[in-house]
Amino acid sequence: MGEHPSPGPAVAACAEAERIEELEPEAEERPPAAPEDFDPGNTGYISTCKFRSLLESQSSKLDPHKREVLLALADSHADGQICYQDFVNLMSNKRSNSFRQAILQGNRRLCSKALLEEKGLNFSQRLIRHVAYETLPRETDRKWYYDSYTCCPPPWFMITVTLLEVAFFLYNGVSLDQFVLQVTHPRYLKNSLVYHPQLRAQAWRYLTYIFMHAGIEHLGLNAVLQLLVGVPLEMVHGATRIALVYVAGVVAGSLAVSVADMTAPVVGSSGGVYALVSAHLANIVMNWSGMKCQFKLLRMAVALICMSMEFGRAVWLRFHPSAYPPCPHPSFVAHLGGVAVGITLGVVILRNYEQRLQDQSLWWIFVAMYTVFVLFAVFWNIFAYTLLDLKLPPPP
């Protein structure tokens, strides 16, 4: 899917870089030595003229979108030099923060037609283009993603999680002989996956509660949002980053319940789903002019309405007379924990396509905030329940 001819300069540059590393094993400790053709003085920089000449000579072998972006990089350096390490990274498809800044601040605009205007694409190419316009706000990033995406690996994380949630729901539905509002069944909380305040010492429950849903109406909306929003995001940002946002939202959701709604259990994947969706919606709002997805205002309104209806259902269920008194129905606070993760950690991840997160100061700020919250919640669970002399419902 989305395969394109491999760029000739990429192969040559990577092979040359590997040869240099083999001859000089200590090259990592100093600026990399450039080939004599590019950097005869061994300064660590390449003339933009030579860089442009290389691109022009290989134009027939290099993808036109990628060639256009690389020429824009050459034109953006007013001092006439490009760092050799940036050159090697570019040719091996490793984009750096300096690359993005060079493009954004460059003197040359990308003047060819937009990716959206190209004709004659097959189904897989149209799908990749659609995903690019759904998730990325800059035309440069969209073109780079379109040229580089190979569907290897496929977006396995969100699909696997969704299938597991459906499988556990069906198994539970058959066991309880109930599929609508399963949570009202007297034996529902006996499942070892549910988070229960009396069993909060069983640490796995802070994560495994996502495989238990209140009913088919709860699972249905979460599964649809996971697939419609999570899969495209995973195709662009990769399984590792999307799993990080999702799992962080899930853990934050259960910990938030243990702090703010101490007597209630938790079920459902809404913490992770709300983290992904809120991060995506916030990214669209922050890059409104750059996002070219169709009907974005209408679709944002529909997404917010669906999320509000699901949240309203959770609030109603929480205060509805319980089917297993004195324990109340599951809490709605996990939704809020997921939103908090989405508009902090999630936004930083989605705003930095192919950039190193460790180079972003906001990333470390939000990681520190999340770590402080987790530590606070852990100590709260250890000491607060006893100090407050809180009467918890009996274990199921």
Please, what are the domains in the chain?
Answer: 35-94 (1.10.238), 156-388 (1.20.1540.10)
Given this model, what pLDDT does residue 89 score? Answer: 59
pTM: 0.75
Given this model, what pLDDT does residue 86 score? Answer: 61
pLDDT digits (tens, 9 = 90+) for 58-97: 666 666 656 666 666 666 555 566 666 666 655 555 544 4
Dist. CA 87–CA 92, nearest whole Å: 9
- Among 337, 218, 231, which residue's Cα sits nearest to residue 274? 337
Which residues are within 8 A (CB) of 366 and not within 5 positions of it... i.e. 6 or more apart? 344, 345, 348
Active site residues: 270, 335
Give 313: exposed, middle or buried? Use CB within 10 Å, 0-12, 13-18, 19+.
middle
**Half-sphere exposure at residue 302, Cβ-oriented, CA atoms within 13 angstroms:** 9
pLDDT digits (tens, 9 = 90+) for 160-201: 999 999 999 999 999 999 998 889 998 999 999 999 999 999
Q: How many CB atoms lie within 10 A of CB 245?
A: 27
Given this model, what pLDDT does residue 38 score? Answer: 63
Backbone angles phi, psi at 266, to 5 degrees: -140, 135
- Low-confidence stretches of the chain (pLDDT < 50) are 1-34, 95-99, 101-111
Q: Note whether 320 and 214 are within 8 A (CB).
A: no
Given this model, what pLDDT does residue 359 score? Answer: 77
